[in-house]
Amino acid sequence: MIRPALILVALACAFRPESLRAAAPDALDLQAAVAGLQPGAVLELPPGVHRLPATGWRLAGLRGVIIDGHGATLIAGSREATSLQIDGCDGLTIRNLRIDYDPLPFTQGDVASVDAQTGTITVRLHAGYPGSEAAASTGGFFTDARLQLFDRDTPTLKPGAPDYGVASLEPAGERTVRVAFPKWQTGLDLIAVGDRVTLSSRAAEGVSIRNSREVTLEDVTIFAAPNVAIVARSCETGGTFRRVRVIPGPPPEGATQPRLISACADGLNIANTRQGPVIEQCEFAYQADDAINLHGAMIPVLKWIDDRSFLSVLPWRNNRLEVITRTGDTIRFLDPPSYEVVGAANIVKIEKTPEPVEPWLERVGKTWEMLKVNPESVTFYRVTLNQRATGVQAGGFCEIPATSASGFIIRDTYCHDHRGRGFRLMASDGLVLNNRFERIKGCAISLGAEFSYWREAGWSRNLVVSDNQIRDVGQGMNIRMPDSYTIGAISIMARTDAGAAPAFPGNENIVLEGNLIDGCSVAGISISNAHNVRVNRNTIRNVNQDASGEAGRARGLSTTQPISIIRAEATLSDNLVP
């Protein structure tokens, strides 16, 4: 009997390297290669380019297995397929792999004309890139297409541009598409003939890690992803990511222009996980949203069933709160619009419960207004507590801190040239050390919850942000708007309901020290909704480049100071500021 560790070694001897190119997609049966792997097996892929199965490569129930790609490239053939689907694994290590999509999950081109009166442009698509079908909605939770605006001469996002939504895409001639913008869209005057743009919408995740623990990705490069490049949900541990790169791949066949983006959403998004990740020496570049996002779920109190249990809901079925929570976990009740913690209890049990969807569908839609809610995915939970939550009424929300990917380390990682923020951290008990941020549309680091809109928890505590280098961030328009709530290159914040909500200092025990901030449209450091914050030995220069003071005005956060402290308590010492 051939040992599992030798299966692909034997296969490698059977093929010459040229037979493993993408032109021969059936040369290697990757799904068969993992079938029956025993704990501790080492699976070695032969070098070359290997087509993935049509539905992606499913890695389920593997224990202590190592998959070594030896530099191989795995090609997914559809933007509706997740390339690697890791589910129920323990101690799985994947190393020395590259992942790409063919056809690409986005398209790009040059602006051929601009019609300001109708709010439309035409885009002549670059040779070798897909047609507009690559940006068409797949009918998922996020249905809208997005446009990214790049400089015509350099592969950088155009400074000052907002985030662009797309209302419709229509053919307008050979390899030309007409793009119509929503009525609310601003920044159309910044689009000029000759600018380069990308068109994309969100489809399948690139790499999915679910219901697993101690998964390690090492020396893995992701050249493209139809959505988030790497997502982890409902895991015991957030995993280890060492020298993982999310960067644009080489031009496709027939192309003369370089790729402009990598992933169509975040680089790495980890949520509803009991232990945070270790992220070291990684690179996130040109993705269409944040580099790293750590958070937990907010759940609403729909109604009280009895004195110690209430009905709640989530609009998707893959968070598995009933699995990831433990008896004794703290649940904290939050009262809008400030999301003040108004009570706490311990969880006895969370269990799925059948409930008619129709009576609650309007409430679910208003709670998660950014989603196209699918009634078949709505999941109801009965939450049982150890004691009565006195004074907590139906209509509020809760957070469960134990499931917010806390206890994380992010160090020696480089984020550059992308939309969104660098690190978007809604977790606690973490270290953010010696990272670099350059040319980002949003802020470099935000600490604190997205209570409204995204409904991502929670309040952040016990964090150290030290020795990071931040240059030329806040380059987009959105961070400068009156409704902005991240008005510093490093922002301690809470996204509460619209307007200047009453302050609640839910973020606490945070240290910002030894950071270099050189170049930002808004403040260097912004602190709100926090207490016991120490700001020491930071060097700040070339900030508040937009001197209008409009950023954050609608939320009562407007400032022209290099370090802003509003509705918060912080101590400052030995900072070098203008």
pLDDT tens, the chain, 578 aa long:
333 344 443 333 333 333 223 333 345 899 999 998 999 999 999 999 999 999 999 999 999 999 999 999 999 999 999 999 999 999 999 999 999 999 999 999 999 999 989 999 999 999 999 999 999 876 655 657 899 999 999 889 999 999 999 999 999 999 999 999 999 999 999 999 999 999 999 999 999 999 999 999 999 999 999 999 999 999 999 999 999 999 999 999 999 999 999 999 999 999 999 999 999 999 999 999 999 999 998 999 999 999 999 999 999 877 789 999 999 999 999 999 999 999 999 999 999 999 999 999 999 999 998 888 889 999 999 999 999 888 899 999 999 999 999 999 999 999 999 999 999 999 999 999 999 999 999 999 999 999 998 999 999 999 999 999 999 999 999 999 999 999 999 999 999 987 766 789 999 999 999 999 999 999 999 999 999 999 999 999 999 999 999 999 999 999 999 999 999 999 999 999 98
Same domain, 423 and 520: yes
Rounded Cα distance, 421 and 434, in Å: 17
Considering its fold, how many domains does the chain have in total? 4
Burial of 355 (0-12, 13-18, 19+ CB in 10 A): middle
Same domain, 387 and 422: no
Contact 157/187 with Cβ under 8 angstroms? no
Q: Name the helix (H) or strand (E) containing 71.
A: strand 66-76
Rounded Cα distance, 276 and 423, in Å: 14
Rounded Cα distance, 459 and 509, in Å: 11
Same domain, 306 and 392: yes
Rounded Cα distance, 409 and 431, in Å: 5
Rounded Cα distance, 206 and 229, in Å: 5
**For strand 530-536 and strand 568-573, is the pairing parallel, antiparallel, or unpaired?**
parallel
Same domain, 433 and 520: yes
Q: Which domain holds residue 166?
A: 106-200
Same domain, 252 and 377: no
The tokens describing 61, both together, are: 């129930």
Same domain, 484 and 511: yes
The tokens describing 423, both together, are: 């690190």
Q: Which of 429, 414, 199 is nearest to 294 (CA)?
A: 429
Single-letter amino acid, residue 386: N
Residue 410 lies in a domain: yes
Burial of 53 (0-12, 13-18, 19+ CB in 10 A): middle
Contact 138/203 with Cβ under 8 angstroms? yes
Same domain, 557 and 453: yes
Rounded Cα distance, 388 and 395, in Å: 16
The pTM score is: 0.95
Same domain, 417 and 483: yes
Contact 383/350 with Cβ under 8 angstroms? yes
Domain boundary among 200, 219, 253: 200
Cβ contacts of 24 within 8 Å, gap of 6 or more: none
Same domain, 317 and 360: yes
Number of Cβ atoms within 10 Å of the Cβ of 501: 21
Domain boundary among 200, 233, 250: 200
